[in-house]
């Protein structure tokens, strides 16, 4: 009978960020004759540890091996879905989470994870349903923090601020001292122009954590919105002191420096480019997710664009396009400058398959290409295809990259908060207006 592995000790190492130590302990503790429940837990911990060390390829191999050995184990399927998500294999990740739900329909975690992947795949309606289901299932233990945060952020991005405010408010009735949700609720209230209530939320958060970077940052933004510029600048400096490695704080502070009549240009640019460098490091290590990266990239882009440094702003946009950080606002600015406005545009959906004989550096290892979908404002199908091709060649300019585009006929455009109604009275910039479906990478078998 083999000795049982120290699973609690391994879990503690992972929680403390000591992933490499956890990997070494897992290797030394592995025995093929371990009881199945211990073996399954070790697979999950090992997959997580490999992801935390950045060894994604071996993590995928291990997770797939575990899924073959335990094809109906929900934790194994969740671990497989997570690592496939990290690798960019979104349809396969979705399938793993759907199978985990089929095995254990009442598991909140698999519903939440499915929602996150569906959101990245562009199916926001299904993602919203999955988040709601996760919250319903987790109700006995209190609302699920991750699902609350994800659902609130999704609703805010859709412009459904009142719905998001209710999600946060419901969570706080169960856990009124959660600092992160207090801050997110404050952000939502600020976006609703309920500034006094927002400032009260930030005050409550700072009473619990005097140096909370998010509370300080968003307090500064709200003070700026109500015209208290000097105090806003002072609080934003405090936010930087509390977290000097925060890309968003540096980006906003840099943009304020750049816009100030007496601002120091060198200091402003150092902050903006420092924000991008930190963002790249955080993204590569998995600490920063695409929605956050998009906010930072847009802040830096806008500061440079408005200050007249368009060439630098375009380089920021190119990187944002490669990393899937690009936003409708960035695209709108570029489209208006490059293609102009037209009162007759229609909204086309363009489905792209991109392949390369030689992998570009910003693609994952062992990938041969990807698929993605875009909403494109154009006057004809031919123009929609041409504008999409121009955009894709901007972000993947290597000669070895090949593009295959299919244009879906124009759909009815509703004024639903995502894409505004198009009419002759409101001419719109032509070009790629929105990334509808995130990249799903194609990997060598």
Instruction: Give pLDDT, residue 15.
Output: 80
Q: Coil, strand or helix: which one is 229? A: helix
**pLDDT at residue 195 tops 70:** yes
* pLDDT for res 53: 87
Q: Which two tokens stand for residue 194?
A: 């309920």
pLDDT at position 352: 97
d(CA 69, CA 76): 10
Average pLDDT over residues 19-33: 82
Rounded CA-CA distance 148/132 in Å is 9
Q: Which of 68, 20, 18 is nearest to 43 (CA)?
A: 68
C-alpha 163/C-alpha 152 separation (Å) is 8
Q: What is the DSSP letter of 244?
A: T
pLDDT at 17: 82
pLDDT of residue 425: 52
Give residue-wise pLDDT tens across range 321-380.
999 999 999 999 999 999 999 888 899 999 999 999 899 999 988 899 999 999 999 999
Position 437 scores a pLDDT of 86
Structure tokens at 42: 């070790």
**Predicted local distance difference test score (pLDDT) of residue 421:** 40
Q: How confident is the model at residue 433 (pLDDT cuts 50, 70, 90)?
A: very high
Q: Report pLDDT for 79.
A: 96
Residue tagged 């169960």 (tokens): 174
Helices and strands (H, E) in the chain, number of each type: 20, 6
Sign, CA dihedral 418-438-326-346, equals negative
Comparing 38 with 274, which gets the higher pLDDT?
A: 274
Q: What is the sign, positive or negative, of the torsion defined by CA atoms of 220, 303, 157, 343?
A: positive
What are the DSSP calls for 1-49, one per residue?
A: -PPPP-HHHHHHHHHTT-HHHHHHHHHHH--TTS-HHHHHHHHHHHHHH
Flag whether pLDDT at 52 surpasses 70.
yes
Question: How far apart are alpha carbons 116 and 113 in whole angstroms?
Answer: 5
Average of pLDDT values for 149-175?
A: 95
Average pLDDT for 104-132: 95
Report residue 172: phi and psi, to 5°.
-70, -20
**Which band of pLDDT confidence, cut at 50, 70 and 90, is reported for residue 3?**
low
Which has the higher per-residue pLDDT, 318 or 411? 318
Between 29-33, 104-108, 194-198, 249-253, the lowest mean confidence (pLDDT) is in 29-33
Q: How confident is the model at residue 445 (pLDDT cuts 50, 70, 90)?
A: low
Which of residues 53 and 331 earns the better pLDDT score? 331
pLDDT at 1 over 50: no
Q: What is the set of domains in the chain, with CATH numbers?
A: 176-243 (1.25.40.10), 245-326 (no CATH), 338-443 (no CATH)
Distance CA 102, CA 98 (A): 6
Q: Which two tokens stand for residue 314?
A: 């375009």
Of the ranges 136-150, 167-181, 209-223, which one carries the lowest mean pLDDT score?
136-150
Count of other CB atoms within 10 angstroms of residue 426: 11
Q: pTM here? A: 0.80
3-state helix, strand, coil in the chain (%, to 5): 65, 10, 25
């Amino acid at each position: 009978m083999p000795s049982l592995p120290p699973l609690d000790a391994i879990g503690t190492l992972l929680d403390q960020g000591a992933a490499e130590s956890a990997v070494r302990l897992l290797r030394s503790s592995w025995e093929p004759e371990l009881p199945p429940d211990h073996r399954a837990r070790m697979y999950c911990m090992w997959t997580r540890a490999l992801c935390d060390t950045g060894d994604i390829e071996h993590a995928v191999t291990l997770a797939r091996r575990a899924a073959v050995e335990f094809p109906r184990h929900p934790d194994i399927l969740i671990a497989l879905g997570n690592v496939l998500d990290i690798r960019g294999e979104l349809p396969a990740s979705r399938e793993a989470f759907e199978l985990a739900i089929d095995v254990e329909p009442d598991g909140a975690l698999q519903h939440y994870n499915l929602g996150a992947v569906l959101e990245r795949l562009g199916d926001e309606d299904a993602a919203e349903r999955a988040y709601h289901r996760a919250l319903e299932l987790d109700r006995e233990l209190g609302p699920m923090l991750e699902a609350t945060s994800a659902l609130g952020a999704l609703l805010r991005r859709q412009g459904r601020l009142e719905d998001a405010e209710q999600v946060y408010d419901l969570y706080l009735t169960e856990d009124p001292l959660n600092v992160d949700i207090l801050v997110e609720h404050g952000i939502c209230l600020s976006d609703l122009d309920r500034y006094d209530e927002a400032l009260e939320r930030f005050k409550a958060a700072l009473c619990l954590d005097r140096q909370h970077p998010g509370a300080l940052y968003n307090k500064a933004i709200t003070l700026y919105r109500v015209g208290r510029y000097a105090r806003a600048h002072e609080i934003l400096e405090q936010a930087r002191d509390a977290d000097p490695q925060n890309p968003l704080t540096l980006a906003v502070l840099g943009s304020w420096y750049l816009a100030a009549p007496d601002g120091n240009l060198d200091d402003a640019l150092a902050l903006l480019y420092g924000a991008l460098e930190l963002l790249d490091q955080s993204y590569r290590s998995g600490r920063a997710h695409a929605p956050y990266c998009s906010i930072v990239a847009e802040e830096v882009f806008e500061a440079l664009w408005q200050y007249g440094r368009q060439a630098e702003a375009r380089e920021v946009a190119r990187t944002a396009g490669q990393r899937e950080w690009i936003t409708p606002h960035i695209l709108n600015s570029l489209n208006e400058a490059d293609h102009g406005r037209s009162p007759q545009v229609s909204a086309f959906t363009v489905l792209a398959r991109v392949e390369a004989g030689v992998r570009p550096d910003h693609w994952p290892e062992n990938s041969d290409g990807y698929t993605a979908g875009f909403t494109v404002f154009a006057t004809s199908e031919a123009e929609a295809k041409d504008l999409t091709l121009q955009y894709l060649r901007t972000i993947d300019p290597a000669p070895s990259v090949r593009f295959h585009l299919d244009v879906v006929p124009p759909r009815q455009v509703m004024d639903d908060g995502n894409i505004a109604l198009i009419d002759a009275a409101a001419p719109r910039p032509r070009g790629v207006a929105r990334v509808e479906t995130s990249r799903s990478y194609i990997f060598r078998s």
